[in-house]
Amino acid sequence: MLLNIHSQEIYPLIEVRLPLAQSSPRYLQLNSSTRTTYKLAYNSGTIVVVEKDEGLKYYGNINLQRHITSGDREFTYNLLALALINQKILDLSKPQVFNNIEYPASLIVYQLEMDNDSWEGLIDQLENRELNERTLSIFFNLDSVNSSNYREVKQYKEKWLYITIHALGFILKPEISWLPEAGLPIELNISSGIDENFGVYGADKLYPVSEKRLEYWSRKDSSSSTYSSDTQEHRIGNQSVKRIMLALELLQGVSAWTTGENSIADVNFKWDLIVKVNNRCYPLQIKSNSETAVEAFEQYFELWEQAEIPFLPVIFWTNAGSCINKIAQCFANLFNVPLKATQASTNSEVALTKINSHKIYKHIDEVRTGNKAHKPIVEALFDAAGRGEWDKQAEDLLQAIVDRGKNSHYQLINHCSIIGKARIKQAEVLKEKLESLGFQLNGDMYL
C-alpha cells in the first residue's frame, strides 16, 4: 500500500531506502509459469512476480550490505535504513547470531512480505514510475523482526541467513537512496565575488556524499569508460581545478583533493574535485569558462533525467584572470568558515591597496591628459599581477585612454606592451603558487 510519509502513524516505523534501477523488467517463460523480475540498482535486491495457473506469487529479496573487492582492498556498502524518529540512522546491516552461528551482513538476505493488494500496488508503481523516481522506501515495524522470522538456507557452499520483513507499505521517492546518510545539502547562495572571470552555474543545492562512497568511486581507472588526458582542453581544465584548489587552500579547516583519473567519480559522475569541510565531503564540477559551464549543465541535466548521475550538479567555473582571494571568500561564505588568519590580513591589505590606487581614477573623465597621467593606473595593474590577480578596472581605464586618443604618451602600442607584460607577470606568480602546492596536486591527493 502507499503510505503518507507525513502521517503520524508511521513515525515509529523503520524506513529502508532501496535504489531503483532504470532497466525494464525482465520476463522469463518457464514451462507453465512466467517469471518477471524487477531489479534494484547496485545488485541490492530483486522483486519477482511468478504467474502460474493458480495465480500470482510475489517475492522480494534485499541485501542490506554488499562487499566489493578491488585488488587488495575490500569496500563495504550499506543500504540506508532510516528510523523516522528524529531522523536517526539505524544500521540494519550488522552481523546476526542464529543457532550459535554469527552471520556477517554479506550473508544475510532480508525477504519482503506484504499482502497481495500491496504487492500489486508496488508492481504498478514500478511499471509506471517517473524517470526521476530513484528510491523505493519500504516501511516496517522493527519489533516484527526477530528470531521467529529467521531461517538458514545453504547456497553456494555457504550458509545464508534469511530474515523476513513484514512490510507495512511503500513510497517511491525522487531523491537518491544513499544521499541522506551524508547530511543535508547546502543551499547555494553566492552573489558577491562573481565576475567575468569566476562564476557558478547549475543547481541551487550542493549535496554532500559520504567519504566511504567517495573513496570507492574516486579510485583511478575504476570506470569502464576512459578518456584521453593528453589534450589542450584537459590541460586548461586542470588549471581551473588547480585555481579552485588554491582558493580552498586559503580556508581554515578545509581540505580538497582531485578525483582519480578515469574513475567512476570523474568519468561517470563528472566530479572533478572533493571538498571536505565540517566532516562532510562535497563533490564539485569545475569548468574553465561560463560557456562550457552552460553547455555542460545541459548535458548533465539529460544524464540526471536518465538517472545516470545522482543529482543535478553545481558547476564552478574560473579562468586565468580570476582572483584567487575573491574565490576563497566566496567559498568561505558558502561553507560558513573563516579564512586563515594570514589570508584575512592579506585580503585587508589588498582591499586597501585597491582603494588607494583608484580613489582618483574611477572613470575615464577623471584621467587627465598629461605625460604621466596613466602611470598610477599601470602601477595598479602590475600590483594586482604581482599577487597573481588581474585588475579589470585598471585594464578598462587604460583601454579607455587609448580609445580617447588624448594622451600622447599612452598609445595602442604602449597599451599592448603593458597588458602583455602584466599578464606574463601574473602567469609567473601563479606558476610559483602552483609549484609551491605541487606536493598536494599529485596522485597523493587521490582517495
Which residues in 329-350 are b (16+ Cβ under 10 Å) and which e? bbbbebbeeebbeebeeebeeb
Residue 344 per-residue DSSP state:
H
Would you place residue 72 in the very low, low, confident or very high pLDDT band (cuts 50, 70, 90)? Answer: low
What does the pLDDT average to over 61-67?
Answer: 68
Q: Which three cell numbers stand for residue 108?
A: 544475510
Would you place residue 349 in the very low, low, confident or very high pLDDT band (cuts 50, 70, 90)? Answer: very low
pLDDT of residue 90: 63
Q: To which residue does cell 586548461 refer?
A: 236
pLDDT of residue 158: 87
Which of 54-58, 183-187, 240-244, 441-445 bottoms out in mean pLDDT, i.e. has the lowest? Answer: 441-445
Q: Which residue has the higher pLDDT, 281 or 308?
A: 281
Give the H/E segment covering residue 282.
strand 280-287
pLDDT of residue 257: 92
- Contact present, 314 and 330 (Cβ < 8 Å): no
Quick check: helix, strand or coil at residue 63? coil
pLDDT in tens, 406-447: 888 899 999 999 999 999 988 888 887 776 655 444 433 322
Which of 26-30, 122-126, 264-268 bottoms out in mean pLDDT, i.e. has the lowest? Answer: 26-30
- Contact present, 338 and 327 (Cβ < 8 Å): no
Residue 225 per-residue DSSP state:
-
Would you place residue 222 in the very low, low, confident or very high pLDDT band (cuts 50, 70, 90)? Answer: confident
What stretches of 292-445 adopt beta strand conformation (E)?
A: 314-318
What are the extents of the domains in the chain? 8-178, 183-339, 356-434
The answer for residues whose C-beta is within 8 angstroms of residue 293's C-beta and 6 or more apart is 199, 201, 202, 287, 315, 317
Would you place residue 353 in the very low, low, confident or very high pLDDT band (cuts 50, 70, 90)? Answer: very low
What does the pLDDT average to over 299-307?
Answer: 84
What does the pLDDT average to over 258-263?
Answer: 88
pLDDT over threshold 80, residue 84: no
Question: Could you give the CA distance from residue 121 to residue 123 in angstroms, rounded to a whole number?
Answer: 6
Question: Could you give the CA distance from residue 223 to residue 445 in angstroms, rounded to a whole number?
Answer: 18
Q: Which residue has the higher pLDDT, 103 or 141?
A: 103
pLDDT of residue 92: 63
To the nearest whole number, what is the mean pLDDT of the chain?
Answer: 79
